[in-house]
Chains A and B, each alone.
Chain A
Amino acid sequence: MPTSKDIFVMAEIDSQGKPKRLSLELAGKAAELAAQTGGRAVGVVCGPATAAQTLGEYGLSHVFYCPDPRCAEELIGPPAAVLASLIAAHNPWLVLLPGSPLGKDWAGRIVGKLGLGVEAGVTDLTVVDGKAQVTIPAFSGALRVSSTFTTDGAAPGLVIVLPGSFDLKRSGGTATVEEVALPAGTPTQVRVVERKAQEGGVPNLAEAQVIVAGGRGLANTDNFALIRQTADLLGGAVGATRAAVDSGWIPYAYQIGQTGKAVKPKLYLAVGISGEIQHKVGMQTSGTIIAINNNKEAPIMQFADLAVVGDLFKIMPALNAELARRKQV
């Protein structure tokens, strides 16, 4: 049976029950595509009705929400079951999912359950001759691949999108919201038995618009205060290299790179970071990259927009003072 023209968005919420930024980016994109193809932009969220309403403000015309607490307690199974049953009932053309750990978890279960096609790590989505075409950076960013669904229009296609791929567009609309129940018989397989807070919090690197990252050049834990201050002044988050994490200066949750997080802020300020390939692959698509390094031969000095050659211990305090001064005027 051919699919409808609808574009579904599976949204993820934060601990306050609000849709995350990436989910809102997806809502805007779905609305734009729906306007082009004449389908509907439909949301699915496992959370409160208010989350569904927010999604409407970002362009979705219809939002299904499932407030069942099992969705949060069991993380993966129940939300995947909710989405799978809605996909089966509505047969959408595309389903956009956030390229976050949870988004990938849900997508894996859906692909296994329904045997659908999936495009992962997508940074762009357009319609070419009525078919969905995606762009995917591949092989650590060495290549950019364009790909389509061989099943386009015949079966729903899942598209997993990286943060920062689409602009945030608040259209101020209102969605028709509809409560749905967790499908009967959804088994309990996994339970969250404890939630632990990381001392000092966890940075939301995936969605940060400004990141100030530090590496081995910072020399110890205490010196991270220097870049924490810069991040605060710029309204951004702190990140780190694996060398800093391995040295025990900062938790793994801050690590950017191949075995850490991939980020795409508008500004990436790299302080005392060499820019080895395993770090580069996690941040190379950032908007503006500024590097501060006392070695002008460091790899990062080859792919930054601004390469400042100098001692970070002299520059950072002065930069913090200058940023603070400009904030006041």
Chain B
Amino acid sequence: MNIVVCMKQVPDTTAEKRLLGDGTLDRASVPAVVNPWDEYAIETALRIREAQGGELTLLCMGPENAPETIRRGLAMGADKGVLVTDPALHGSDMWATGYVLAQALKKLPFDLVLFGSQSTDAGGGLVYGIVAELLDLPQISWVNQIEVGGGKVRGQRLSDAGFDVVEAALPAVVSITQTPYEPRYPTLPNIMKAKKKELLTWSLADVGADAGKVGLAAAHTAVGGTEKPSSERTVAVYVAEDPETTAKYIADFLAARKLI
């Protein structure tokens, strides 16, 4: 079973964010991490590989400094990494991201491609659908448990009532949500081992992608302006008195705002 996990480098949620003059994020100014959703995809892939063998490749489209982040996934246990990076990619939109990943996937042998269900910075939840469409593959998304075998993949997708068990033939695209198991933490020996693992760097030309279709100039959308949302809330602090008085206070507060 050969698995590719598409992983994105994202700015750490807990860090301060700054923008460049062209309105894109100054990614150099914030520590980068593996998109937390993708860690669940990596963990899921590791478990399948441990049970069934095969090779696990991480695929990332990102800036030149992304290898450090990819190494974290290698330290979790992935076998090799591929970074698609190119100056022309700066400012690429959703379609272009899907296009470049699809082109790269054409060069990698796989039975299964796993994604996170969304990224914490763009939060689109779109890229895997674009990739699946471009490669004409079935797509199972928003699943927190998968089984592979007999040329098929089955996943448990959250539904309005509980779960839908969805099934598709391999090769397939699957997006993972938070799983019942935690992504493993890289151990020191594995961090050392990861330094020696293969990490390829591919350009747009290497994946046969048309540079005219990607980057800021080809983007279908353009950021006009950005602002820091003002934190308009004024906090009313109320130190609880006896329970009944406190309950009345809260109920009055709700009533004053017409919430009851």
**Chain A residues within CB distance 8 Å of chain B:** 14-15, 75-77, 101, 104-109, 111-113, 115-121, 133, 137-151, 155, 157, 160, 189-198, 201-202, 204, 210, 234, 242, 252-253, 255, 258-260, 266-267, 277-278, 281, 288-290, 296, 301-311, 314-315, 317-319, 321-323, 326
Q: In the complex, which of the residues B11, B124, B144, B160 contacts A118, with contact meaning CB atoms closer than 8 Å?
A: B124
Nearest chain B CB to A219 CB, angstrom units? 18
Report if B32 contacts A (CB, 8 A): no
**How many A-B residue contacts, CB cutoff 8 Å?**
287
Q: B124 — nearest CB in chain A belongs to which residue?
A: A120
Is A259 within 8 A of B250, CB to CB?
no
Report if B103 contacts A (CB, 8 A): no
Nearest chain B CB to A35 CB, angstrom units? 24
Is B126 within 8 A of A198, CB to CB?
no
Q: How far is the CA of A189 from the CA of B129 in the complex (A)?
A: 13
Q: In the complex, which of the residues B17, B162, B234 contacts A198, with contact meaning CB atoms closer than 8 Å?
A: B162
From B93, B94, B228, residue with most partner A Cβ within 10 Å: B94
Q: In the complex, which of the residues B221, B231, B239 contacts A309, with contact meaning CB atoms closer than 8 Å?
A: B239
Is B247 within 8 A of A149, CB to CB?
no
Report if B13 contacts A (CB, 8 A): yes
Q: In the complex, which of the residues A190, A252, A305, A318 contacts B140, with contact meaning CB atoms closer than 8 Å?
A: A190
Is A118 within 8 A of B177, CB to CB?
no
Query: With A306-B250, A309-B240 in contact, is A190–B222 under 8 Å at CB?
Result: no
Given A77-B138, A118-B93, A242-B178, 20 new contacts (CB under 8 A) = A101-B141, A105-B142, A111-B130, A121-B124, A133-B224, A137-B229, A139-B17, A141-B229, A143-B19, A147-B222, A157-B221, A192-B166, A193-B167, A194-B164, A252-B178, A302-B235, A314-B240, A314-B246, A315-B246, A317-B243
Count residues of chain B with CB under 8 A from any CB of chain A: 91
Nearest chain B CB to A178 CB, angstrom units? 26
Query: With A303-B231, A326-B251 in contact, is A310–B17 under 8 Å at CB?
Result: no
Is A193 within 8 A of B220, CB to CB?
no
Is B162 within 8 A of A115, CB to CB?
no
Is B244 within 8 A of A108, CB to CB?
no
Is B259 within 8 A of A266, CB to CB?
yes
Query: With A151-B220, A307-B237, A310-B246 in contact, is A109–B160 under 8 Å at CB?
Result: no
Query: With A202-B162, A255-B178 in contact, is A318–B125 under 8 Å at CB?
Result: no
Is A144 within 8 A of B220, CB to CB?
no
Q: In the complex, which of the residues A266, A308, A314 contacts B250, with contact meaning CB atoms closer than 8 Å?
A: A308
Task: Bits for B136-174, please: 1 = Cβ < 8 Å to A, else 0.
Answer: 011111101000000000101111111111111100000
A-chain residues with CB within 8 Å of residue B130 when the two chains form the complex: 108-109, 111-112
Q: How far is the CA of A303 from the CA of B37 in the complex (A)?
A: 26
Is A189 within 8 A of B168, CB to CB?
yes
Q: A131 — nearest CB in chain B belongs to which residue?
A: B224
Those 5 A-B pairs whose CB atoms lie nearest each other, nearest first = A108-B129, A117-B220, A310-B240, A112-B133, A198-B162
Is B235 within 8 A of A307, CB to CB?
yes
Query: With A304-B235, A307-B236, A310-B240 in contact, is A150–B139 under 8 Å at CB?
Result: no
Q: B135 — nearest CB in chain A belongs to which residue?
A: A112
Q: How far is the CA of A282 from the CA of B100 in the complex (A)?
A: 30
Q: How far is the CA of A266 from the CA of B260 in the complex (A)?
A: 11
Is A306 within 8 A of B236, CB to CB?
yes
A-chain residues with CB within 8 Å of residue B257 when the two chains form the complex: 267, 288
Is A146 within 8 A of B138, CB to CB?
no
Q: How far is the CA of A242 from the CA of B40 in the complex (A)?
A: 15
A-chain residues with CB within 8 Å of residue B157 when the two chains form the complex: 75, 101
A-chain residues with CB within 8 Å of residue B139 when the two chains form the complex: 76, 105, 108-109, 189-190
Q: In the complex, which of the residues A192, A196, A204, A309 contacts B238, with contact meaning CB atoms closer than 8 Å?
A: A309
Is A315 within 8 A of B126, CB to CB?
no
Query: With A118-B95, A149-B221 in contact, is A111–B126 under 8 Å at CB?
Result: yes
A-chain residues with CB within 8 Å of residue B158 when the two chains form the complex: 101, 202, 252-253
Nearest chain B CB to A261 CB, angstrom units? 9
